[in-house]
């Protein structure tokens, strides 16, 4: 165990961006603001008046996982497609943030987390006085739903290790799998660029369901019978599994703190990710709060006892 202590972080100064929602097609403006230590991440709907406009970014507030993760508070105020922004916060190392939004859905930007990572880095990171708390996985937790499977299990270090496998009949995607340790800088380099994706055959059906109204080749990879319709092509051959891992990072961030453990998934998605986090939080024996300050205090007390 190293002698250094990880501290909580927020941003140095506010940051602003705007764009359209991939499903609603509605424009929204985001203002990211520094937040005090220990307050976590929350959204505030500025287009709605009265009380009840604050929405904690927590797994217990997840109300929908159909093609995105939606959060809804007790006042029935919601914000949709939070996962790409949440993934950027986890990847950059932001613990506390207030996100003001004047619409129902987080802007999709280019379909990845890259714009959000850049925005956060431009805003600057500010270390806070409180030690960072981690969720330490103590015993394996697993969820199965047909061919889908996801688990969290213990690891020996303080990082989140991700392994994911996807399989599609489409020849372009086929079987893809990847493993990655979420060390500092790894998310921005290896996952943030990966865009959301879909199939041309599903577009009409999604729009009749009120989804994908803002979707285009500018914010999603569209696959049609083994070919990429986007003129610029893929950003990497395995962009599809990388995006699934990006989504998982965002969904796991809703546990309320960085996770020290291993995430393994087959055919992962927002629904099974949320079920996994909820099962974890509902199983007290499977995890504990941990910080470097707590570990150092424990080491010191054991040393004193030995002397």
Dihedral (Cα; 32, 36, 38, 43), 10-degree rounding: -30
Mapped onto helix, strand or coil, the DSSP state of residue 215 is coil
Query: CA 290, CA 218: separation in Å to the nearest integer?
Result: 41
Query: CA 115, CA 274: separation in Å to the nearest integer?
Result: 24
Is 270 marked active-site? Answer: yes
First to last CA, the chain: 20
Query: CA 217, CA 231: separation in Å to the nearest integer?
Result: 8
Inter-residue contact 64 to 70 (CB < 8 Å): yes
Q: What strands lie across the sheet with 97-101, from one edge to the other? A: 15-20, 27-34, 97-101, 41-45, 54-56
Inter-residue contact 106 to 84 (CB < 8 Å): yes
Contacts of 238 (CB under 8 A, 6+ apart): 176, 178
Within 135-261, residue ranges assigned H as helices are: 186-190, 203-208, 239-253
> Active-site residue among 23, 84, 243, 270?
270
Tell me 155's DSSP state. Answer: -
Q: Which two tokens stand for residue 271?
A: 């629904």
Query: CA 273, CA 271: separation in Å to the nearest integer?
Result: 5
Q: Tell me the catalytic residues.
A: 270
């Amino acid at each position: 165990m190293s002698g250094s202590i990880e501290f909580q972080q927020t941003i140095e100064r506010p940051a602003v961006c705007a764009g359209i929602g991939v499903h609603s097609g509605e424009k929204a403006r985001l203002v990211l603001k520094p937040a005090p230590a220990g307050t976590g991440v929350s959204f505030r709907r500025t287009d709605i008046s009265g009380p009840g406009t604050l929405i904690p970014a927590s797994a217990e507030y997840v109300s929908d996982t159909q093609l995105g993760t939606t959060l809804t508070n007790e006042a029935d105020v919601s914000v949709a497609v939070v996962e790409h922004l949440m993934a950027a916060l986890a990847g950059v190392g932001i613990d506390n943030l207030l996100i003001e939004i004047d619409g129902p859905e987080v802007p999709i930007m280019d379909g990845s987390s890259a714009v959000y990572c850049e925005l956060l880095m431009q805003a600057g990171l500010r270390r806070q006085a409180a030690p960072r708390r981690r969720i330490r996985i103590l015993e394996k937790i697993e969820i199965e739903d047909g061919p889908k499977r996801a688990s969290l299990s213990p690891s020996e270090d303080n990082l989140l290790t991700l392994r994911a496998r996807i399989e599609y009949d489409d020849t372009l995607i086929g079987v893809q799998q990847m493993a990655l340790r979420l060390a500092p800088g790894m998310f921005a380099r290896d996952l943030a660029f990966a865009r959301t994706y879909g199939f041309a055959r599903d577009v009409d059906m999604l729009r009749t369901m009120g989804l994908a109204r803002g979707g285009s080749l500018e914010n999603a990879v569209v696959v049609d019978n083994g070919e990429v319709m986007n003129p610029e092509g893929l950003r990497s051959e395995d962009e599809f599994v990388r995006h699934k891992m990006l989504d998982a990072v965002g969904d796991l961030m809703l546990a309320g703190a960085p996770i020290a453990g291993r995430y393994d998934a087959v055919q992962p998605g927002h629904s099974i990710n949320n079920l996994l986090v909820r099962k974890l939080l509902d199983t007290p024996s499977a995890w504990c709060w941990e910080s470097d300050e707590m570990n150092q205090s424990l080491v010191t007390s054991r040393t004193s006892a030995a002397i």
